[in-house]
Structure 1
Amino acid sequence: MSEMWIQPTGGPLGADVHGVDLSRPVSDAVFRRILDAWSEHLVLRFSGQRIDDATLMKFSARFGELDRVPIASADVDSADSDVAPEAVDWVNVISSIKKNGKAVGGLGSYELVWHTDMSYNPVPPRASLLYALEVPPDGGNTGFLNMYLAYEALPADLKRAIEGRTCIHDASRNSAGELRQGFQRTLDVRQTPGAVHPLVRLHPMSKRKALFLGRRPGAYIHGLSVEESEALLDALWEHTTQERFAWYQKWRIGDLVMWDNRCVMHRRDAFDETMRRLMHRTQIVGEPVLAG
């Protein structure tokens, strides 16, 4: 325990956890320090790890019940992903790799928009953990946004405009804009399929308020005309995605990064489609979203 130490990134969120080998059992005392650091910094990075899916699942489950993987897009063949049968429901493969002309994991090599994982569900995950198995030499970096700070820095008129408002979170497409299996294209945002959540949520542990936007495409704010909703959402997203709220992770093999999905949004840079990138992700079951 004395060897573990936390090094903040110096940005608006994020910290490195040093001195912890996740391939070995993590004591309760060390885990409490990890929880405290996660609460303070929202995103934690464990570098130089060498773990398998069983270990990833076991460590993830310390933070709560494992959540099932999201619905894949139509062109993904998860049966060819090399994930053990006992892990396929719990380990989501993020990959640019193809076998026999079919993607073995989701989200390819293109840019991913700012989003909250699985916020289209009535109860989105509380946390996500992403482990790097293969990374390209350049690109594919992941950005994170501090949604506490984004809310707290909102201009007064925008705070008033979103008070008590709710928003649809699109279930039909993933963060790359791909249509999920079983969904059809929706032209009217008022008919977007997906959960409805408050624009401002109260974190159940910290009791702080955070903006909860999910993702921009397909969103609609209830009680407004489509034009009013679009204008308000544009203003919120322009404010929220400022670099002063962001920190970027440049991936290395063996990095495990976890984030608080209740108060953090993330996105991914595009990278060369001929390069291999392979990540395994777990999610933790969350709590009902409380209005802030």
Structure 2
Amino acid sequence: MTNVISNSVQENVADAESSTPEISVRPVAGHIGAEIKGVDLSQPLDDAVVAKIRRKLLKYKVVFFRDQQIGHAEQIAFARRFGELTHAHPHEDAPPAEFPEILTIDPKRYEQKYGKKFRDQYAKRQYTYYSGWHTDVTAAVNPPAASLLRAETVPDFGGDTTWTNQAAAYAGLSEPLRNLVDGLRAEHRFLAGQERGDENDELSRRIKANLLVSHHPVVRVHPETGEKALFVNPGFTTRILDLSAVESRKLLELLYEHLTRPEYTVRFKWEPGSVAFWDNRATAHLGPQDLDHLDVERVLHRVTLIGDRPVGPTGYTSEIVEGEEFRATANVKVA
């Protein structure tokens, strides 16, 4: 499948001048992130504006918009300018009425759905739906090409999200280590590090009923920029194939420590109406780590763009082990 972000408008990735001088772009960190002003996401955008946003997304990996007065419909309409949207999530059986593309991220909603012990159970794991370094849905053979997250309600303090540039992290490895990881493959699945799960945990049962397991290259060649990027993350990567358990664990620990080094990251303070749009093929992100002890409300809404199968430097293309490709329709099985 042709990469979805580039389907609408073909263009040079270079940060060339465009005919949209009213749009300002301000980088916010050394390796990743920029804030875009002068765009009203509640209104239809012409092709030149969409093309410029795409260029900035490819260059900065995540772009931010402030003070956007939009709802589900406008968020979906804007995201569709960049490609076809997925269903809300492979395990989401109750998206907002009439908006099956929307995944609402709200820890209190998860507690209502999966029980009051939800936070305690997931604090013991490497990954939760609201915290933990991860790249979105890499358990699928075609993880989302990009994600768009909108803040509805956020606390006055805390609750920041951090992104890391996995292309910059790859470039920062020594040449011998780059040569090693270029040829490796890894397994990705939900509940990384907790493969056995808990039969009394409703979410674990649902994940097992809708199993997704894929093999991906450890390094992904970006289909638009040609950059090489690390493509492992603590949230979904279980092991590196063809290595011993000890070798796999030690190498993944090294890569995780490297890709989350502060110099590759940007941290974003949410406000109501804030929107973050990131390239899921070249980033990982970390949800807030500072709210579990506070009685605060935090509600955001995400959509994701259908992606293609990652391809590694050796030409290896991701393969399905369990499940199906992540597409616009879903038939979620309730355990």
Q: Which residue number corresponds to residue 260 of structure 2?
A: 241
- Report the Cα distance in structure 2 between the residues aligned to 1:193 and 1:9, rounded to whole angstroms: 35
SS of the equivalent of 1:6 reads: strand
- Report the Cα distance in structure 2 between the residues aligned to 1:203 and 1:99, rounded to whole angstroms: 33
Change (3 A) 1:220 1:34: same
Which of 88, 93, 117 is matched with 2:104 structurally?
A: 93
- Report the Cα distance in structure 1 between the residues aligned to 2:111 and 2:298, rounded to whole angstroms: 17
TM-score, with structure 1 as normaliser: 0.85
Q: Which residue number corresponds to residue 189 of structure 1?
A: none
Q: What is the CA distance between 1:72 and its match in structure 2? A: 3.7
Describe the superposition over 1:236-274 as per-residue Cα deviations: whole angstroms up to 9, x where unpaired: 111111101111011111001000000011011221441
Which of 306, 311, 316 is matched with 1:290 structurally?
A: 311
Further displaced range: 126-135 or 29-38: 29-38
Q: What is the CA distance between 1:173 and its match in structure 2? A: 6.0
The count of aligned residue pairs is 275
TM-score, with structure 2 as normaliser: 0.75
Amino acid at match of 2:304: Q
Amino acid at match of 1:56: Q
Which of 24, 44, 54 is matched with 1:25 structurally?
A: 44
Retained in 1: the 8 A contact 2:143–2:306?
A: yes
SS of the equivalent of 1:114 reads: coil
Retained in 2: the 8 A contact 1:168–1:221?
A: yes
Retained in 2: the 8 A contact 1:72–1:180?
A: no
Change (3 A) 1:50 1:229: same
Gaps of 5+ in 2: 1-19, 124-129, 314-335
- Report the Cα distance in structure 1 between the residues aligned to 2:177 and 2:75, rounded to whole angstroms: 40
Change (3 A) 1:19 1:233: same
Q: Percent identity?
A: 32
Q: Does 1:182 align with 2:206?
A: yes
Q: What is the CA distance between 1:44 and its match in structure 2? A: 0.6
Describe the superposition over 1:190-213 as per-residue Cα deviations: whole angstroms up to 9, x where unpaired: xx9611100001000001100000
Q: Does 1:265 align with 2:289?
A: no
CA RMSD of aligned residues (A): 2.8
Q: Pairwise mapping of residues 86-165 of structure 1 onto structure 2 (< 5 A)? A: 86-87=98-99, 89-98=100-109, 101-102=112-113, 112-165=131-184
Higher fraction of strand: 1
Retained in 2: the 8 A contact 1:132–1:253?
A: yes
Change (3 A) 1:250 1:100: closer
Describe the superposition over 1:202-235 as per-residue Cα deviations: whole angstroms up to 9, x where unpaired: 0000011000003256511110111111111111
SS of the equivalent of 2:213 reads: coil
SS of the equivalent of 2:75 reads: helix
- Report the Cα distance in structure 2 between the residues aligned to 1:64 and 1:135, rounded to whole angstroms: 28
Retained in 1: the 8 A contact 2:162–2:267?
A: yes
Amino acid at match of 1:269: P
Amino acid at match of 1:282: V
- Report the Cα distance in structure 1 between the residues aligned to 2:253 and 2:281, rounded to whole angstroms: 21
Retained in 2: the 8 A contact 1:92–1:280?
A: yes
